[in-house]
Chains A and B, each alone.
Chain A
């Protein structure tokens, strides 16, 4: 599975509780769409650290890195 597919299925399964791909667009802002809130983002970070073997620094916890599937994919790319 590509990084994009992994991230998409994680978000769909854990925040939208579905496998219907049409419910999430890659550019959707998690914040604006109310998909993930302040406690949820910590879980996303744990997932990324575990799944991709990266370490998310506190200063990297910003919307530009984490607020959509596209942003996460770009961020993971930049870390590897």
Chain B
């Protein structure tokens, strides 16, 4: 440990990285993360992160610079996040399913000069880097790439960079008001928006979550969700600041492997999304599953159907079940106290500790109990705005009662009962939630419009037992076009994250229109359901 990075005992956490520094001082030899069965201690995480931080600084990363992390749930990804924080930079994680066009967009939008990635993704990032003039350095984990050559860009191997750099003497100074991360999220216009989060808002949110989930340093939290998704990212941030242990897997693709890991590692906390719970319940109906070591399960990203709950109580007999709701713009809004799950299984509860929520009518007037209204959120966890997008920031952040204060308008409709419990009514945009991921119909439509031979296209989400919503594409072709669903899906797969590729393509002659000439999505919904 270096003198410059010490934290006085009892001093509250100010910066995200303080969580790591405090935990490594307390128990350097404890396992911080176990990635696909391989354990890494706090001392190892600190050592690797400080070495990489040194390399980042040497390659020009300064306070406030954005650094892109385009990686799967791996050890290098975790090291990269803390390295960027130690270097004073602002990290952002990009889902490894992201394709070249979108990667290029976020690299340019964020004005990143450095990309941390993995050799498995080389095919995609090489294509993006042709059009990202600011990116000068790439550090790539995995196998060494000899065949990659890019003009003016240095591509270095992650492990070599670690061994060739000493740990930094002291982290770059930043204060809690500085940005810690950008979190890119799908927007209804089709282009992702970078949610700006400061150290103080992220530190606050993580402690609020720790408090209501009753987490401690003895917990062993399972991560099968992408770190590129804020729900996954916070599992890491909470684990490290608590000095607990995170059990990391790439995904839930091979459930049996995950079940074995949960038992072998005595996992205590299982965060998931409805698609994962649906898969477990369907397996459980065939052959009983039971995980007695789990004491808390959490659900967010899409509503947890009330009829899942009795099954989840069988599969996790000792677990508190948390239903939650949130949006990236404030990390999390509310949660239902697990003791209320049998009494109010349809509610998403109350505001997370240290924050408050209220409902207003479209005219900005208070809404009586039981009536639908637009949900507003107030607290230190709300975003600073969207990166370089004041217009859309203004749509979400409104003036509060205290002069100068800004509150978050979620634009989602809720009801609140007499006891202050919230019930989700509907979204005000047409974002599709599939497998727990947000999909902008416009984004998918824009890609389809890029295919020659497609005349009209309309994307909708249809209720689906496993996916939450499945994506259906209605397509009208130009006359003489020989496009088929295979060709369209292949094109989508090379331009969109896998979960955004339509599950089904339906060919029709002409798309129904509303009176003002827009594609009539309601009519499309009716065509599917009847």
Contact = CB atoms under 8 A, between A and B. Distances in A.
A37 B253 contact: yes
Contacts of A66: 254
Nearest to A23: B490
Contacts of B467: 39
A17 B256 CA distance: 28
Interface residues of A, number: 24
Interface in B294-314: none
**Chain A interface main SS type:** loop
A59 to B, nearest CB: 6
B427 interface: no
B493 interface: yes
A54 interface: no
A26 interface: no
Contact of B251 (A16, A17, A31, A60): A31
A16 to B, nearest CB: 7
Interface in A18-62: 18, 30-34, 36-42, 58-62
A61 B254 contact: yes
Nearest to A20: B490
A10 to B, nearest CB: 13
A40 B467 CA distance: 11
B254 A67 contact: yes
B283 interface: yes
Contact of B256 (A16, A39, A62): A62
Interface in B38-81: 72
Given A34-B96, A39-B275, A17 B253 contact: no
A31 B254 CA distance: 9
B368 interface: no
Given A58-B286, A58-B287, A39 B466 contact: yes
A17 B487 contact: yes
Given A17-B486, A39-B275, A63 B257 contact: yes
A32 B490 CA distance: 19
A38 B253 contact: yes
B120 interface: yes
> Which 5 pairs from chain A and chain B are nearest by CB?
A17-B490, A38-B252, A38-B253, A17-B489, A61-B256
Interface of A: 13, 16-18, 30-34, 36-42, 58-63, 66-67
Interface of B: 72, 96-97, 120, 250-257, 275-276, 279, 283, 286-287, 435, 466-467, 486-487, 489-490, 493, 498-499
